[in-house]
Amino acid sequence: MNENKRTAMGDKPDVFNLSCPLPLRDHATVQLAHGGGGRFMRELIEGMFLPAFADGRPKDPPHDSAVVEIGGARLAFTTDTFVVRPLFFPGGDIGKLAVYGTVNDLAMSGARPLYLSAAFVLEEGLPMETLRRVVESMRTAAREVGVQIITGDTKVVDRGKGDGIFVNTAGIGLAPPGIEISPRRVAVGDAVLVSGDLGRHGMAVMSVREGLGFQSALESDCASLAGLVEAMLAGGGDLHCLRDLTRGGLAAALNEIAMDSRVGIELEEAAIPVSEAVASACELLGLDPLYVANEGRLVAFAPAGEAERLLQIMRSHVAAPGAAIVGRVTAEHSGTVELRGRLGGNRIVDLLSGEQMPRIC
Amino acid sequence: MNENKRTAMGDKPDVFNLSCPLPLRDHATVQLAHGGGGRFMRELIEGMFLPAFADGRPKDPPHDSAVVEIGGARLAFTTDTFVVRPLFFPGGDIGKLAVYGTVNDLAMSGARPLYLSAAFVLEEGLPMETLRRVVESMRTAAREVGVQIITGDTKVVDRGKGDGIFVNTAGIGLAPPGIEISPRRVAVGDAVLVSGDLGRHGMAVMSVREGLGFQSALESDCASLAGLVEAMLAGGGDLHCLRDLTRGGLAAALNEIAMDSRVGIELEEAAIPVSEAVASACELLGLDPLYVANEGRLVAFAPAGEAERLLQIMRSHVAAPGAAIVGRVTAEHSGTVELRGRLGGNRIVDLLSGEQMPRIC
């Protein structure tokens, strides 16, 4: 428990509790928000999974993939299950997500993604043609990224005990020696960059799910970030940390890093790229684009002096033409994310307690 | 298409089609049997997954885990999702299964299991206490086996869109250099050994699921086989192939190997160990123990001359006191499994088309 954080924000003590392992609050049952990327999920991880699997807090802060040394090789290892509804949405589908999502988690450690597993939970009665489309999409995505799906599993559950298709992919990548990209390296003074405009994936999924009329303008940003990371690493600068922005959006990613790295993060609202289509859709639905899911965007931390050069590398890559420097790491307000508004005035960007959009990935 | 197999068993041509990639039959929808370990699942794998992910037939016949070389290390990689119902059953639970199941798949390549991922799909409304029991069970099992759960994921699906808990574990193990344990090495003349009596897991799960009265006598065989395999390897003999017996039981495992290795397999009914409790329960329910799932049993193939020694090594290990030599590999009837009955008379042990017991693992 970090007392100075509690002191700094005495009126909101709960938020700050989250940086140390805590007993779960009084949730007798699992709620949708426990899978939402916000505060409840963090509580579940810190209160249940880490104590059981990592004997409390692990040596290193949790990251998108774990890096371990095996037989002389430095490997990144990660897993992700995809339960998105609907299975097909503008700009992507569950198969594409399942390949890119795990590839991206590997890339966030600087690793070159190599091999994936694919495990399906199918609901009895699923049209075989739907499965075929998903499998074809996975094949295409895997080829494009240059990873191989080499092992798999299929389970079928009774009608009404699943939801069409759930796909789990786990992945192995080769992490280059001497490169450490981790929340642990985030340092005061670092610049914070995003690789493009935010919120497309979440709003594209919402648009079809809710039958809203703005589909045409909105496509998911669903894409591999492996090539972009490779280009960023090849640039030779000192990347401190990367994280892909999925559930909970930029807000969740930055809050996690602020808490795990024990730093403050200050964002400039005016610098954060959000497309007009996403902004309008968010306004219509009362959502905040900072919390909306992405599936092809990352946030990067690098020394301020290297930020401009890194930005140019990112902008010249096909996956990040809209990259921007959006903030910086501060010593103040450790564990929190602050947004400096367009019109002046700061506000805290909290982890959400509730669930803005369930089943988004 | 292997014409001589069709010729050998002209009255049952369908079985033999399965040894080459086939278009899926006319199943417009996914059926429970597609996850059952029998013929439908094989069709799904051969007709859809292998063509998409392995460009048709992979170089090596599919095995419980894939072995790849990365950065100089020889790694085994595997994945398995567990959807067993009920979550807790005599002798085990879904958490224990999820750890042992993946550990066993790694061990079947001769690999030493090292790291697991754990990915949960939770149904909204699941009692938190149930999740905690499962997580604790995974922790205990992982410690016992000496593997670490180092990465994870949690998704929550709406009430009625899941079934309590599904757990996926993927695993990485280190395969010793120079050791190849694969269906490819199965050779005519090999002895076929099983590590203990068959069918306990399936019947233990059925007993609680169907509310049958014979719980007390029946406990799942759910256990790690990693230590046993290590002992078998340390014995220095030439192990050709190993496979753990899960969905579809001994019958499914042997049919797969017979087809993939293009050999015949002959079993001695009298030599196959089945406990009295399992035999009675099977009789009551009209099930064949050869098809019933296990979660702590393996079948091994080794040169006939080494079989007795291997048997002694197995019997002196805590995981296989009831090991037995149950059959041999033949050149005749390639692709099929034959059972020589107690009273004389042979019968073919087919892959099942239907689903004997769904949601067993």
A59 within domain boundaries: no
Q: Report the mean per-residue pLDDT for chain A.
A: 90
DSSP class of B176: P
A361 in a structural domain: no
The answer to whether the Cβ–Cβ distance between B156 and A129 falls below 8 Å is: no
Nearest to A158 by CA among B154, B79, B41, B360: B360
For B114, the closest chain A residue by CA position comes to A70
Tell me, yes or no, if A144 comes closer than 8 A to chain B by beta carbon: no
B178 touches chain A (CB under 8 A): no
Joined tokens for residue A277 = 């289509």
pLDDT for residue B9 is more than 90: no
Residues A288 and A327 occupy one common structural domain: yes
| Whole-number Å distance between alpha carbons of B245 and B224 | 12
Q: What is the pLDDT of residue B361?
A: 93
What is the per-residue pLDDT for A63? 84
User: Could you tell me if B126 and B198 lie in one domain?
Assistant: no
The CA distance from A210 to B227, in Å, is 52
Diameter over CA atoms, chain A: 58
Mutate to test the interface with A, among B30, B78, B169 (most CBs of A within 10 A): B30
Sign of the dihedral defined by the CA atoms of residues B248, B254, B260, B264, in that order = negative
- Looking at the predicted structure, is the pLDDT value of residue B4 above 80? no
For residue B95, give the 3-state DSSP assignment: helix
Is there a single domain that holds both residue A205 and residue A288?
yes
Give pLDDT, residue B216: 64
B310 in Cβ contact with B193 (< 8 Å): yes
Contacts of B143 in chain A (CB under 8 A): none
Give the least confident one: A43-57, B145-159, B261-275, B289-303: A43-57
For position B44, what pLDDT does the model report? 94
CB–CB contact B128 A28 (8 Å)? yes
Name the residue with higher pLDDT: B7 or B273.
B273
Task: Give residue B214's pLDDT band: very low, low, confident or very high (50, 70, 90).
Answer: low
Shortest Cα–Cα distance, A23 to chain B (Å): 12
Cβ-proximal residues to B276 (8 Å cutoff; 6+ apart), any chain: none
Are A126 and A266 in a shared domain? no
In a shared domain, residues B193 and B140? no
Task: Kindly state the average pLDDT of the residues B278-297.
Answer: 94
Which chain B residues in 246-275 lie under 8 Å from chain A, judged by CB atoms? none
Strand partners, A127: B29
Q: Which of B35, B126, B138 sits opposite A29 (nearest CB)?
A: B126
Q: Phi and psi at residue A316, in whole multiples of 5°?
A: -85, 0
* Domain, as residue range, for B221: 183-348
CA distance B346 to chain A (A): 33
Would you state the pLDDT for residue B262?
A: 95
The pLDDT of residue A353: 78
HEC assignment per residue over chain A: CCHHHHHHCCCCHHHHHCCCCCCCCCCCECCHHHHCCCHHHHHHHHHHHHHHHCCCCCCCCCCCCEEEEECCEEEEEEEEEECCCCCEECCEEHHHHHHHHHHHHHHCCCCEEEEEEEEEEEECCCEHHHHHHHHHHHHHHHHHHCCEEEEEEEEEECCCCCCCEEEEEEEEEECCCCCCCCHHHCCCCCEEEECCCCCHHHHHHHHHHCCCCCHHHCCCCCCCCHHHHHHHHHCCCCCCEEEECCCCHHHHHHHHHHHHHCCEEEEEHHHCCCCHHHHHHHHHHCCCHHHCCCCCCEEEEECHHHHHHHHHHHHCCCCCCCCEEEEEEECCCCCCEEEECCCCCEEECCCCCCCCCCCCC
Residue written as tokens 């990371």?
A: A229
Q: Is the pLDDT of residue B350 over 80?
A: yes
Structure token digits, residue A271: 């610098």
Span between the terminal Cα atoms of chain B, in Å: 32
CB within 8 Å: B172 and A142 = no
Nearest CB to B127 within list A28, A142, A172:
A28
Confidence category of residue B13, pLDDT binned at 50, 70, 90: very low
pLDDT higher than threshold 60 for residue B348:
yes
Task: Classify the C-alpha dihedral B92-B39-B56-B63 as positive or negative.
Answer: positive
Which residue reads 């048997």 in tokens?
A: B311
Q: Are residues A212 and A105 in the same domain?
A: no
Task: Tell the burial category of A50 from Cβ atoms under 10 Å away from its Cβ (0-12, 13-18, 19+).
Answer: middle
User: What's the confidence (pLDDT) of residue B122?
Assistant: 98
Q: Which of 285-304 (B) contact A at CB < 8 A?
A: none
Contact between A226 and A104 (Cβ < 8 Å): yes
Q: Which residue has the tokens 């003074």?
A: A189
Closest Cβ–Cβ partner in A124, A127, A136 for B28:
A127
pLDDT single digits (tens) A315-350: 999 999 999 999 999 999 999 999 999 988 999 999
pLDDT given for residue A210 in this prediction: 79
| A358 with B156: Cβ contact below 8 A | yes
Which of B73, B138, B156 is the closest to A52 by Cβ? B138
**Residue with tokens 């597993």, as numbered in its chain:** A117
Spatial distance between the Cα atoms of A289 and A283, rounded to a whole number of angstroms:
9
* Closest residue on chain B to A62 (Cα): B151
Decide if pLDDT at B18 tops 50.
Answer: no
| pLDDT range class, residue B212, cuts 50, 70, 90 | confident
Tell me, yes or no, if A84 comes closer than 8 A to chain B by beta carbon. Answer: no
The pLDDT assigned to A225 comes to: 98
CB contact under 8 A, B115 and A77: yes
Instruction: Flag if B126 and A163 touch (Cβ within 8 Å).
Output: no
Which among A48, A74, A125 is the nearest to B131, CB-wise?
Answer: A48
Same domain for B332 and B221:
yes
Q: Using the beta-carbon criterion (under 8 Å), do A53 and B155 form an inter-chain contact?
A: no
Q: Does B36 touch chain A (CB under 8 A)?
A: yes
**Which positions ≥6 away from B40 have C-beta within 8 Å?**
B27, B31, B33, B34, B353, B355
Separation of alpha carbons A286 and B34, rounded Å: 43
Give the tokens for residue B85.
């119902």
B115/A68 CB distance under 8 A? yes
d(CA A79, CA A172): 9
* Residue B79: per-residue pLDDT: 98
A45 touches chain B (CB under 8 A): yes
Cβ within 8 Å of A, B 102-121: 114-115, 117-121
Q: Is A208 on the interface with B (CB under 8 A)?
A: no
> How many domains does chain B fold into?
3
Q: Tell me, rounded to whole angstroms, the distance of Cα B217 from its chain centroid.
A: 23
Tokens (6 digits) for B79: 């994945």
Residue A300 domain flag: yes
Instruction: Using the 3D structure, point to which of B53, B74, B92 is the last residue of a domain.
Output: B53
Q: Which amino acid is at A142?
A: A
**Chain A closest-CA separation from residue B306 CA (Å):** 31
Mean pLDDT of chain B: 90
Other residues' Cβ atoms within 10 Å of the Cβ of residue A140? 14
Residues A75 and A19 in one domain: no
Which of the listed residues A108, A143, A174 is the one where a domain comes to its end? A174
Which residues, given as ranges, of chain A have pLDDT below 70? Answer: 1-26, 56-59, 213-216
Residue A19: predicted pLDDT: 38
B163 touches chain A (CB under 8 A): yes
Label residue B8 exposed, middle or buried (CB < 10 Å: 0-12, 13-18, 19+). middle
Tokens at residue A134, please? Answer: 């998903």
Q: Is B42 on the interface with A (CB under 8 A)?
A: no
Residue B355 domain-assigned? no
- Residue pair A198/A249 in contact (Cβ under 8 Å)? The answer is yes
**What is the pTM assigned to this prediction?**
0.92
**Same domain for A122 and A160?**
yes
| Residue at A360 is within a domain | no
Q: Label the pairing between strands A324-330 and A264-268.
A: antiparallel
Query: Best interface-test mutation with A: which of B53, B105, B132 has the largest number of A CBs within 10 A?
Result: B53
**CA of A54 to nearest chain B CA: how many angstroms apart?**
7
A328 located within any domain: yes
Confirm whether A341 is domain-assigned.
yes
Burial A96-131 (b: 16+ CB within 10 A, else e): bbbbbbbbbbbbbbbbbbbbbbbbbbbbbbbebebb
Q: Is B143 on the interface with A (CB under 8 A)?
A: no
Task: Report the residue of B25, B42, B79, B80 to disrupt the A interface, i.e. the one with the largest count of A CBs within 10 Å.
Answer: B79
> Which residue reads 């399942």 in tokens?
A98
Handedness of CA A251, A253, A254, A255 (dihedral sign): positive
Contact A70 B123 (CB under 8 A): no
C-alpha A199/C-alpha A189 separation (Å) is 26
pLDDT reported for residue A11: 35
For residues A231 and A342, membership in a common domain is answered with: yes
- Which SS3 state, helix, strand or coil, does residue B157 take? strand
User: How do residues A217-260 score in pLDDT, each as one tens digit?
Assistant: 799 999 999 999 999 999 988 999 999 999 999 999 999 999 99
Backbone angles phi, psi at A337, to 5 degrees: -115, 125
Q: Least CA distance to A116: which residue of chain B?
A: B77
> Cα(first)–Cα(last) distance of chain A, in Å?
32
pLDDT given for residue A257 in this prediction: 96
Question: How distant, in Å, are the alpha carbons of A308, B2, B218, B353 from that of B8?
Answer: 72, 10, 40, 21
Q: Give the span between the Cα atoms of A161 and A237, in whole angstroms.
A: 49
Q: What pLDDT is recorded for position A77?
A: 97
Last residue of a domain, one of B145, B174, B203: B174
Report the residue of chain B nearest A74, measured CA to CA.
B71
Q: CATH code at B84?
A: 3.30.1330.10
CATH no. for residue B327? 3.90.650.10
Asked whether residue A108 falls in the same domain as residue A219, the answer is no
Please tell me whether residues A41 and A187 are part of one structural domain: no
Block residue for tokens 């050994």: B193
